[in-house]
C-alpha cells in the first residue's frame, strides 16, 4: 500500500494523518518535498504527523544514510512532532536521537497531548 496522508491546517500547525508503507528513500524524499511545499503554501513551519497507521518497511541503515546524506542541506526551520504506536516508538526511537544530535527540532510521541504541547512550546 503506498504512503498517503491527509492534510488539515489547524491553529498553529499542519496536521498530517498518514497511512500506508514507507519502503524507500524515494518515499522519504517525496514526503520531505511535500512538507516543504505545504509549509510554504500554508505559511506554517510546525507539523504534527500521526503515523500510527504507517508501516515503516525501510531498514535502519538506509534511513541513517538518507539522513546523513542530507545533513548539509539548508534547513527549512520546520518543527516536527510525530505520533507513533508504542511498538514503533520503541523501534524507531533512534531516529529522534539522531536528528536531535544534529540540532533538528524533531520529537516522537505516543499521545496527541504531549506532541501538541511540545510542538507549540
Q: Are 53 and 79 in contact (CB under 8 A)?
A: no
- pTM for the complete prediction? 0.89
DSSP lists the bridge partners of residue 8 as: 15
Q: Is 43 a residue whose pLDDT tops 80?
A: yes
pLDDT digits (tens, 9 = 90+) for 57-82: 888 888 778 777 777 766 678 999 99
Q: State the pLDDT at residue 58.
A: 82
pLDDT of residue 81: 97
Mean pLDDT of 87-102: 86
The larger pLDDT score, comparing residue 114 to residue 90, is at 114
Domain boundaries, the chain: 4-120
Kindly report the CATH class assigned to 4-120. Answer: alpha beta
Amino acid at each position: 500500500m503506498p504512503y498517503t496522508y491527509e492534510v488539515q491546517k489547524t491553529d498553529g500547525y499542519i496536521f498530517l494523518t498518514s497511512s500506508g508503507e514507507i519502503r524507500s528513500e524515494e518515499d522519504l524524499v517525496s514526503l520531505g518535498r511535500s512538507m516543504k511545499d505545504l509549509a510554504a503554501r500554508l505559511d506554517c513551519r510546525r507539523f504534527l504527523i500521526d503515523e500510527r497507521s504507517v508501516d515503516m518497511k525501510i531498514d535502519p541503515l538506509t534511513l541513517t544514510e538518507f539522513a546523513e546524506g542530507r545533513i548539509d542541506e539548508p534547513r527549512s526551520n520546520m518543527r516536527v512532532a510525530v505520533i507513533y504506536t508504542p511498538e514503533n516508538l520503541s523501534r524507531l526511537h533512534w531516529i529522534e536521537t539522531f536528528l536531535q544530535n544534529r540540532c533538528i527540532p524533531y520529537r516522537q510521541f505516543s499521545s496527541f497531548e504531549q506532541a501538541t504541547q511540545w510542538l507549540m512550546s
